[in-house]
Structure 1
Amino acid sequence: MEEQPTKPAYAPAPPPPAHYAPQQQVAGYGQQPYGMVPAQPMQHGVAPYGRPLGPVGKVRSTWAVIGLSIITFGLYSLYYYFATHEEMKQHSGEGVGGAIGLVLALFTFGLVTPFVLPNEVGNLYARQGRPRPVSATTGLWVLLGSFILIGPLVWLIKTNGALNAYWRSMGAV
């Protein structure tokens, strides 16, 4: 009886094509890079892993957001949460999106949104390897500063200002 050569149970993976390069580490995540991503030249100062996927969002005046929220008894703030989350989701392909952002604002009585919104704004910056001007901890301004009304104002100025600066850096007017 003739023995047939046996194949190993697994075969080693072939080397990646020459146009692939190791994934670069994104500052602030604290994880080692893994996997492979296509190597592409920098375009418009944006790193390959941070290239925008969708349209640029709208620049909103912080004072208009405050004024409209007061005039509409807080209804505009719900629209603001929906619109900003949706724009960030369409732009980067990441985040909770408008519907979930609105649900979070409604069903948590606004306790979660002050942490989620600046965290997603910070993620926009981190995807490009830029330092985060705001993060989830920015939400502490709302939580701890609610008693004197200065905290929510500082939170909105910091968060909306960082988001506006990001949109302007992407070409919004």
Structure 2
Amino acid sequence: MIEAVATSITSSAFDNRGNFDSSGIFDNQVNDSTIMGEFENTTDYIVTSAINFSVATTSEVDVSAMRLLGIVIGIIDIFAGTSGNLLTLLAIYNNKRLQTTFHIFIANLCVIDLLTASTMMPFNVTSYIKQEWPFENDFTCSFMAFSYYCCGYTSIVCLITITVNRYVGVCHPKHSN
């Protein structure tokens, strides 16, 4: 255990105090408080470095430009998600050749993504514009969070189902429709 600690900490910290010999093993004069002291100093240095890095990078970024970028991307996602999923659903509905098991799974995924793009994403864009959540009611806020998670998990389950369907269709075509 102590040898592992010795290799994880740089030897230069111990060479200056004579507690670390040239073979890479502690001598008998090292006690637990010396080792813990070195860990505390190392941890303080790492935390201080991380804080200094985050402060330096945050001050260099223009927050209003990033917020505007988020609004533009959100609006594009709303229109692209709504129109793309509607067109996919219409194509599956109107073309009899596309009404297979695989395409039904795709239609399910389109419905979930359409619900997300048309009903939930506008609230995100609104909150970016106003810089506050548009609802003051706790129930509405909880319901929106619940809806986000339900749509996200349902989308993941649809993707897993499509993956399993494609696996069975490719690797075991006898069992596939």
Q: TM range, normalised to the smaller chain?
A: under 0.3
Which of the pair has more CA radius of gyration? 2
TM-score of the superposition, structure 1-length normalised? Answer: 0.24
Greater RCO between the two (CA within 8 Å, min separation 6)? 1
Q: Which structure shows the bigger proportion of residues in helix conformation?
A: 2
